[in-house]
Structure 1
Amino acid sequence: MNILFYLLSALLLAGGIAGFYYFADWPGLARAALVVLGVVAAGGVLLLSEPGKAFVAFVRAAVAEVRKVVWPNRKETTQATLVVFAFVVTLAIFMWLVDKTLEWVLYGLLLGWK
């Protein structure tokens, strides 16, 4: 049964594209509307298939999960941003110190370059 939905949606999509080229004398916006109409119709038919119904159920479950999320308020967001910024600055200073130490050991002590 799903194969019929797939074939019908492919035909609708192909019809929209064919209409774009068949009606070459129409304005570009009207021709683009034919393609969009074909894509929307093909998508609508695909949503009637079993995988399409499973996709709709997945989207509904995802939306329900997003509604359960407790989003941070402005104060919490600012605090988290400052913690991340402080960590990045600290890590940058640490990486700079490691780089300069390795540079001194390799070039200053081992190779004798100045």
Structure 2
Amino acid sequence: MNSTIGTEEQSSKFVSNNELYSMLMHFLFVFLGEGVNFMRYTLCSNLEVDLGSEENAHIVYTALVVDKELQPDKVKRHMSVSNGKLSVNFEAVEARFLRASFSAFVDVLTLTTKTIEEFGPKKE
């Protein structure tokens, strides 16, 4: 029995790393869809702001939810309101996009809260 022949036959059954990667990407493309990129958003930051009341939180949410990200393929922002708090989750592909998005959002959030303080219902 020649052991070399068995080794050659066995080695032809193995796939290279590149072929395996290509097969995996094809599988993900076919079964998950072309728009899905499961490892794309790797950096994240969470912000929670206590706005004092459910009404104020909803006012701020309504004012800010219409302001979409300028580069939605690079940054995602998810907002929610619960118990008078605005929760915001940022996900980005790079630190500079995360920083820019977070900073711009905080600027607009600050303006919105100052507007509520100035023109909102007066506390007794």
Using structure 2 for the length normalisation, give the TM-score.
0.27
- Rg larger for: 1
Could you say which structure has the higher strand fraction?
2
Determine which structure has greater relative contact order: mean sequence separation of CA pairs < 8 Å that are 6+ residues apart, divided by chain length.
2
Using structure 1 for the length normalisation, give the TM-score.
0.29
Could you say which structure has the higher helix fraction?
1
